[in-house]
A and B are shown apart, each in its own frame.
Chain A
Amino acid sequence: KAGVTQTPRYLIKTRGQQVTLSCSPISGHRSVSWYQQTPGQGLQFLFEYFSETQRNKGNFPGRFSGRQFSNSRSEMNVSTLELGDSALYLCASSLQGASTDTQYFGPGTRLTVL
């Protein structure tokens, strides 16, 4: 079974631009969560989607948004990029998104904002 895939793996943008990241979950998994990883903050929860609906959201500004498609694939968008948005963005999928479901992570997208 293929794992979680994320595209692109690396991205360089400038301040003020916007970016879209993509995540394809493991086949059969209906829940997708997104995390931001930075050296000093660890993994911080952005949001979780299930059946095209956002069910949970972390403490990030509205510039961070996401969506999920009917095939469970998910995209994350960051508008008006800031230098502090430079991070590794990870997505994780699980079967139903219950809090005790095991999450399977993709390799991440490394975003650099110049």
Chain B
Amino acid sequence: DQQVKQNSPSLSVQEGRISILNCDYTNSMFDYFLWYKKYPAEGPTFLISISSIKDKNEDGRFTVFLNKSAKHLSLHIVPSQPGDSAVYFCAASRSGGYQKVTFGIGTKLQVIP
């Protein structure tokens, strides 16, 4: 049972345009959400996070939006660059406890020069 769903396995975007990666979750106990980026032959690296007390968090070109009522979050990358081409994982956890992060299956982003 996938509690964190990334329904788009891949996405292609032109360089300079906006990339929007989507994620849905089913477990209403999740209140902390993260995005990780993974290049081939490397482990995932943390990108950005958001707590459920917020609906938006921004870090440079990356912005994460959270819609709690829809149990949906999205990652916006503006402007997209070829170096952003990677697999992006959405992840969720319950704050206040020990680490047990639930990941989605990932979305492969290709930014075309």
Q: Is A104 an interface residue (CB 8 A)?
A: yes
Whose C-beta in chain B lies nearest to the C-beta of A40?
B105
- Partner of B100 from the list A99, A106, A107 (CB cut-off 8 Å) is A99
- How many chain A residues touch B (CB < 8 A): the figure is 30
Where chain B touches its partner, the secondary structure class is loop
Number of interface residues of B (CB under 8 A): 27
Which of the 9-residue segments A11-19, A74-82, A90-98 touches chain B? A90-98
B103 within 8 A of A: yes
Contacts of B105 in A (CB 8 A): 40-42
Question: With the chains together, A35 CA to B89 CA distance in Å?
Answer: 13
Q: When the two chains form the complex, which single residue of B6, B96, B106 contacts A99, counting CB atoms closer than 8 Å? A: B96
Complex: A38 Cα to B93 Cα, angstroms: 20
Does B45 make an interface contact (CB < 8 A)? yes
Interface residues of A in 56-73 (CB under 8 A from B): 56, 58
* The 8 residue pairs across chains A and B that have the minimum distance between CB atoms: A105-B43, A42-B105, A43-B103, A99-B93, A56-B100, A97-B99, A55-B98, A105-B44
